[in-house]
Structure 1
Amino acid sequence: MGCCQSSFLTESHPEKEHGHNRQSHHSHTHCLSTQTHPPSVGLDPSFFEFSFSDFKAATDNFNSDFIVSESGEKAPNLVYKGRLHNRRWIAIKKFTKVAWPDPKQFADEALGVVKLRHQRLANLIGYCCDGYERLLVAEYLPNDTLAKHLFHWENQTIV
């Protein structure tokens, strides 16, 4: 099992929320197995590696009141709504511990997905691979999930 490591670029913010006064996420990060690799060229500067404690604070310790998408047989992962220290709303997808055992593979997949950007998509803004925790964070869109709009349309009125 590897560890997560980031470059030395750290953002700090003067806002204080939940007793914290520092944003502890890093840009240009890499999840490493046992060797250190230089930062990749061309990474999106708005893509961050967050700590698990950032997400615990943003979701009130993953309180069930913050769940916006339930897990099921086909999607065993939970999605939480959260608020960062800078007051930005985010959506956090928390994967099961067995879904991504290799932290480098998880980070590589996240770095690949971040390249897909569009104004009509909830863009990926970061990830966390802290111990056995694997989480993706995206912009929060408040109008329910895509699955609800696609598969539960019979309950919606036509406009």
Structure 2
Amino acid sequence: NGEEALPGFSEYSLDQLRAATAGFSTDNIVSEHGEKAPNVVYRGTLDEDRLIAVKRFNRSAWPDPRHNRGRPLYHDLNAYRILFDQDGNPRLSSFGLMKNSRDGKSYSTNLAFTPPEYLRTGRVIPESVVYSFGTLLLDLLSGKHIPPSHALDLIRGKNFLMLMDSCLEGQFSNDDGTELVRLASRCLQYEPRERPNVKSLVTAITPLQKETEVPSHVLMGIPHGMASSKQTMVLTPLGEVCSRMDLTAIHEILEKIGYKDDEGIANEVSNLYILYCFKS
């Protein structure tokens, strides 16, 4: 095409980068930032007198596989973080470098929905995820984002019906609904040790599944396959750029409509709560 081939990437050793920055000298620091992934940017010079910028991350910014092996924890589990693909399968979004975040910002929702122990210590433990699952259960049952403290007051007063989404009437028995509400209340206990573990959650929920497992797209009434999806749905402008995964265009559209996520759109465009926006 007459275009010059782009040069390939070069790899540099730590010793080369150390030499280029004069031993990561403080005199060469350009910037220091990154709440979730602390890092320092240094000015450097390679042997061929080419100026470079070297970003050096704090060791604690990156998950330690030996420390975290077998215990992956998802921060801030809530309905807004669960996206659906074209076949209706749920996907978790907004994975980030949150291991070292202790300021409450990794829990992006209102503080009323944040696990109590996270507010006290700034640390996420397995029981914190169970607490967040309880808020998710409440969202599914009520169709609203009800603060856990208010929901627990209703549950203690046995006002289950006030919690239930009227659109779900007839979709399951009162006994099943009551059991799910009680399960949510157990997940939302103030003390982590009083919450069920994941294994007991699965044991409690499994008997409530009445239907034989079927593909998600069947349950949600979504036409199967890319061709049928394209024929029956028209993408909105935001949906169209989402389908292309064009983050720059997504950013521009969200800024135009005044969208603000919990930490500011300019900070983390990747924390999108919308995967596809369809218009029938």
TM over 0.5: no
Q: Which has the higher contact order (CA 8 A, sep 6+)?
A: 1
Richer in strand (by share): 1
**Largest Rg, 1 or 2:** 2
Q: TM-score, normalised by structure 2?
A: 0.21
